[in-house]
Amino acid sequence: MVEVEPQARVGHPNQEPPLAFLDTDVVLAYLRGDPTAVQLFRAEADGRVRFAINLTVLGELIITTDDAAKPELNRVLEHLKILPIDYPKAQALTDQVARAMETHNGQSWTRIPHPADIVNASSVGDCDLLVTSNKLLKGLVAGAKPQVIALNELVARLHAA
């Protein structure tokens, strides 16, 4: 479990808070005033978590954010780390999905992941957390790091700390 409470840094002043990759839906929820997302962004302002996105999420945010929310989006972007896309990893994930489709005749995927999901999954390697509700994106992330977590679950952990 990734520690997100401030006490985790008490004995280690140089330890940074966990880095959380935010999927597009999380940032959009904040921009729309979703109370749970607002709480998460308050935790970032308090220094308990750091945020990251990649250029794919940035593009989706630019395209889907209405004009009234653009100033707030610009403020949010000032606090995000923009991660690179790992092209070899994206290709490997694409090959993995293609093999699964061939081997299982499509049985392992109810839907094929969107190319943006593959690109996003390629960017999260240095993150501690991946915050998303996207089941296809979750399915592309393997291993212990990053920990895939839903927005409401992360906020609940932050409140419990």
Domain borders along the chain are 16-160
| pLDDT of the chain, 161 residues: tens digit per residue | 334 433 333 334 568 899 999 999 999 999 999 999 999 999 999 999 999 999 999 999 999 999 999 999 999 999 899 999 999 999 999 998 887 776 655 555 557 788 999 999 999 999 999 999 998 888 888 877 899 999 999 999 988 87
Q: Which fold has domain 16-160?
A: Rossmann fold (3.40.50)
Separation CA 59–CA 54 (nearest Å):
9
pLDDT at residue 136, rounded to an integer: 86
Q: What pLDDT is stored for residue 65 in this prediction?
A: 95
Element (H, E) at 113: none
Task: Name the CA radius of gyration of the chain, rounded.
Answer: 16
Q: Which two tokens stand for residue 41?
A: 């962004």
Predicted pLDDT at 13: 53
The residue count for the chain: 161
User: Which run of H or E residues covers position 33?
Assistant: none
Angle between helices 55-64 and 115-123 (to 10 degrees): 130
